[in-house]
Amino acid sequence: MHGFGAAIEHWRYNLSVFAQHTSVYAIDLLGFGGSRKANERYSAYSWADQVEDFCREIIGCPTVLVGNSIGSLVALTMAAESPALVAGLIMASLPDVSLRQQAAPRFFRPWIEKIENAFSPPWLLNGLFKFVRRPPIIRRWAGLAYGLRQEQPDPEQFEEELVQIICSPPQDLGAEVAFRQLFGSVRQPHFAPSVKEVLPSLDLPILLLWGDGDRFIPCRYGEQFAQLNDKIEFQLWPGVGHCLHDECPTKFNQTCLTWLEQNFSTAAPRKEQSQTGTMT
């Protein structure tokens, strides 16, 4: 599953490779990509419900969930809420939104909420939305999110493809309303479960990947999370940023396929019957 602001196309270098070895399913989370830009409260729980419905109705068997950033958090949430449907987790750059609330002193938290609310009237958010969806801003975001991108033979073409992937969905009908709802939802205390509380409770194979150049979610969090469950295999990749699957697709694909083969008999070629699907 894709990260915040991304879409299925962000996995353009991964899906076809995975499909050579196992059944693969991809989904745009509600409010992103090609999905409807709904006027409703978003949360990791609501997205997990969407993925759960997809797994029940389309896949119909325990599934290995693969996610990046907020997609990892949605995968983790579904594993906690619907464990019978999740066979394993592959998570890259896993955010813990609860740490945002915990980081501020308790006496100061109400003031933070008041300050944020002061900057969240619709007219102001609409202006912000029109600003951040512009290609120059997206390019700036990519410069912060990505690391060395050593695998890209044509960095300029890569950047243009990435900008197009992120810039297109915000032009859809209802995108401004969805942005306002997302802005408000992510600030709510019950937007997502606490990663530090959920991880120790999971009884399934977990692959946790992180780039040591991640500017959005520092790798120290990954190192801390890895200590919470002895079923976690943790890898820290040097010179890589926030989007490991897109920055280093060859390494990411091989790492995931090797892990799947080690943990699931269903990582065999597709010509054999698969009992466990893999959803990105």
Q: Give the separation between CA 104 and CA 114, rounded to whole angstroms.
A: 14
Q: Give the separation between CA 69 and CA 46, rounded to whole angstroms.
A: 16
Per-residue pLDDT at 267:
43
Q: Give the separation between CA 190 and CA 174, rounded to whole angstroms.
A: 24
Per-residue pLDDT at 245:
95
Nearest CA to 221 out of 195, 247, 241 is that of 195
Side chain identity at 236, as an amino acid letter? L
For the chain, domains (ranges, CATH) are 8-279 (3.40.50.1820)
Per-residue pLDDT at 274:
36
Reading the chain (280 residues) residue by residue, the pLDDT tens digits are 998 888 999 999 999 999 999 999 999 999 998 898 988 889 999 999 999 999 999 999 999 999 999 999 999 999 999 999 999 999 999 999 877 655 444 544 454 454 455 555 564 556 665 656 677 777 887 778 887 655 666 667 778 888 888 888 777 777 788 877 887 777 777 899 999 999 999 999 999 999 999 999 999 999 999 999 999 999 999 999 999 999 999 999 999 999 999 999 644 444 333 345 678 8
CA of residue 278 relative to chain centroid, distance = 15
128: tokens are 């912000």
3-state secondary structure of 63: strand
Nearest CA to 5 out of 163, 240, 144, 190 is that of 163
Per-residue pLDDT at 251:
95
DSSP readout, 182-203?
A: HHHHTTSTTSS--HHHHGGG--
